[in-house]
Every structure is written in structure tokens, then in C-alpha cells.
Amino acid sequence: MAANDGRLNGNRAQPPDRSERPHATHAWQPRHTRYAHLTGWGIRLPERIVTNAELEAVVETTDDWIRTRTGIQERRIANDRETVTLMGFEAARAALNRANVLPSAIDLIIVATSTPEDIYPSSASKIQDLLGATQAGAFDLSAACSGFVYGLNMAAQAIRSGSINTALVIGSEVNSRVLDWTDRSTCVLFGDGAGAVLLEGSDQAGGFMDAVLGSDGSGAELLGIPTIGTTNLPEGRQMHKLHMDGREVFRFAVHIITESVRQVLDKAGLSLADVDLIVPHQANQRILSAAARNLNVSEALFYSNVHRYGNTSAASIPIALYEAEREGRLKPNDNVIVVGFGGGLTWAAAALQWQSVQERAPKGLAYRLSQGRRELQYITAFWRARALKTYRRLEAALRGSPAKHANLRESAPAKGKEESARDKR
């Protein structure tokens, strides 16, 4: 291809003199800084509770071993209908209700997950369709258990730049489907569930403050799920099954929580004394105790619900935020640190101000009316999806190939003729 076909600069021989170019009044300008506030949160957990005692019948383990080594007492396990998409959708609905926002107002949906039904279409696109979020872009984010905090940062930065106003960040996982149920060193640790938060832009200061993100791919083999592109599966590993070097991951986790909490506090201009609650990824109570010791803070500063749900990967932080608020551990304007770590290796920590804008969800008639409008949008979304599918089928049947008049063979001999004419000359 020619480097310059004359259309871009107008004159190929004489490149334009940029110093004389008039100022473009429409040129992109950084917009006035906005703030990204957390205004809604919701969760969806599978109904089935599986206790440690039940696992004693599955692998050679004991309730005592699991409790003392991890703090986990029970976890939720999804049934066949409880997928990343459906649990994420339910969590998102709850977050929209909490914020009193319509699905049609959402600009962006990010789903952090390592256990989607499909590589693509993304779970985010399917949730976008179920919600009827017709104005939203949507994508899945792969950063293992750090994924939710990565997503939070992406969404908050897009809001702060003025590029979007409203974003849903969802963590949703069905770990039970990627566990090797004969491997006692991993299958007792994980559980299923989903959590979502809604972020909204505002001129009022507060909300998302700052974040640090990190990755160390040299530790890739310590924790992972080999999938479709794997060509050389190491011995002892299974396709689509989680493998982990528990001891190494433990060491990494304690170190990286300590480091990334310090770094994000520094970046946000806060000290540990300013922090009301640290909401970490829920993997193991002993990891949290060790990190609290390293930071020289009370273990009570670290929120934990790992005993109820085990490790729900990217879903654990939004589930923990939701429960911390419900238990009265998070109050408006509290300073919160969220910190995730996991496969990659990856890590991410963010400093937030919790619920820093006035609630605008009037309970009562006005709220019930907007709740009705949301329900109407979900019903419309259901029928719109069906109508679009039917339309596509009909269009395909009536019109046939969309490129039936295009004939590559016609142009190929033409080019051939030109070339042979040139050859003759």
C-alpha cells in the first residue's frame, strides 16, 4: 500500500506546513475531571450450601483440617442453571435496584471471570442483553482473582475521564466446574457466586480514589486453568481444571497484600490510620491474619467472610463489600481499601470512599415506579432479544447470502488479464 495516497494530506509532493495550520477548534480536549462513586451493590449466591463435613465423603479430608488451615466452614455450589451469566445478571439487577438506576442508563459492563460459559460471546454481552442495557459496551476481563479490582479501576478511570457516566462491574464465578474433585488440596478451597457494583459519575468529590495494578507472569505456572489454546499440557495437569501450588501462592499472597495496600495508600495520600476497612480477596483466613500482622494492624480491620463462601475468585470482593455494608461494617464516607491477588500472577488494590454521594433512591411511590420501569426494561429485553433472533432467521431465509452479488472470481481473472498484458509488453 502507498504510504500516502494523497487523500490524507491533500498534496503528496508538498507535505502541509503544520505550523501554519489553523487551530482546530474541535480538537480533543481533556474534559473536566469527574468522580466515580459507588452507588449500587448486589450479590447472587447459589442456594446449595456444601459443608466441610460433606466434603469428607468426596475426598480424604476432615472438617478440622479445612477449618484450621483455611478458616473455611462451608461454600456455595452452583446447580446447572446457575451460570456466570445468570448469577452475574441477578447481582447486577440487585445493584441497579440499590442505586435506583435504569439498565438503559448503563454505558459499560465489565465482567471479571475465569469460568465463563464461552470464551466468546462474553458473559458481559449476555448480561447486557438480559438487562436490556442497549446503550452499553460490554466485555469480560481475565485477571483471575484480581479481576474485579482491575475492572473497578478500568470503569472508574473511564468515568473520571468523562468518556462514560455509568458502569457496572461484576465478578461472577462457577469455580466448582473447573475443580478436580479428586484433588483434596484444591477442591476444598473454592466456591461459586457473583457480586456487582454500579459506578456513577458526579462532580461531587469522593468515590474511587486511586489504584495500583500488578502482574508477574514468571509465576504463571503456580496457579491456572489450561484451556483451549493449550498445545503442550504438562504432566499431571488436566484441560479446563484448576491446578495450584498452594504453598507458593500462600507466600505470594501475604507479601503482595502487604505491599499493594502500602502502595495504594501512598498513592491516594492516606495512611493506615485513615482506613476504616480493608476488603481483601477471600482465599484463606491465615493469609489475611499474616497480612494484618505484616501491616501491624488489628485483624479486625480486614473484613472476612471466607468461612461462609470459601474462595469465589473474582466474585469474592464484591460479595464481601455487599456483606460488610449489610453488617454495618461500611458506612457512608468510610475509606475502604480493596485488594485482590491471584493467577497470572496478578494483583490489584484500590482506595475508595464508600457511598460518598447522597442516596437518591426515595423509598415509597417514586422508588416503586422506577422499580416498575426497570422490570419493564427486563421484560422488553427478553422480547427484543427474541424478536431480533427471529428477524435474523427470517432475513437469512428471505435474502440468502448477504454477498450473493460479490464474485471474487470475476476480479481474479481480470487482474490475471492485466498482468498477462503487462507481461506481453
- The binder of ligand COA chosen from 91, 145, 352, 381 (CB under 6 A): 145
Cell of 356: 460518598
Could you say whether residue 185 binds ligand COA (CB under 6 A)? Answer: yes
List 52, 145, 243, 335, catalytic entry? 145
Residue 190 dihedral angles phi and psi, to the nearest 5°: -110, 160
CA distance 149 to 335: 16
Over the window 40 to 79, marking each residue x when it contacts ligand COA by CB under 6 A and - when it does not, the resulting string is ---------------------x---x---xx---------
Q: What 3-state DSSP class applies to 361?
A: coil
Going by C-alpha positions, the residue among 137, 136, 165 that lies closest to residue 35 is 165
Going by C-alpha positions, the residue among 140, 145, 198, 148 that lies closest to residue 171 is 148
**Of the two residues 92 and 179, which places its CB atom closer to ligand COA in the complex?**
179
Q: Exposed (0-12), middle (13-18) or buried (19+): which is 361, by Cβ within 10 Å?
A: middle
Q: Tell me whether residue 32 is one of the annotated catalytic residues.
A: no
Whether the bond into 103 is cis, omega within 30 of 0: no
> Whole-number minimum distance, CB 317 to ligand COA, in Å?
11
Q: Tell me whether residue 311 is one of the annotated catalytic residues.
A: yes
Could you say whether residue 249 binds ligand COA (CB under 6 A)? Answer: yes
CA distance 119 to 128: 16
> Whole-number minimum distance, CB 77 to ligand COA, in Å?
16
**Of the two residues 101 and 317, which places its CB atom closer to ligand COA in the complex?**
317
Subset of 329-348 contacting ligand COA (CB under 6 A): 342
**Of the two residues 95 and 315, which places its CB atom closer to ligand COA in the complex?**
315
**Of the two residues 254 and 350, which places its CB atom closer to ligand COA in the complex?**
254
- The binder of ligand COA chosen from 67, 137, 202, 250 (CB under 6 A): 250
H helices present in 47-182, as ranges: 52-55, 63-70, 84-99, 123-131, 147-160
Q: Taking the CB of residue 17, how many other CB atoms lie within 10 A of it? A: 7
**Of the two residues 72 and 211, which places its CB atom closer to ligand COA in the complex?**
72
What residues are annotated to the active site? 145, 281, 311
Binding site for ligand COA (CB under 6 A): 61, 65, 69-70, 145, 184-185, 188, 244, 246-247, 249-250, 253, 283-284, 311, 342
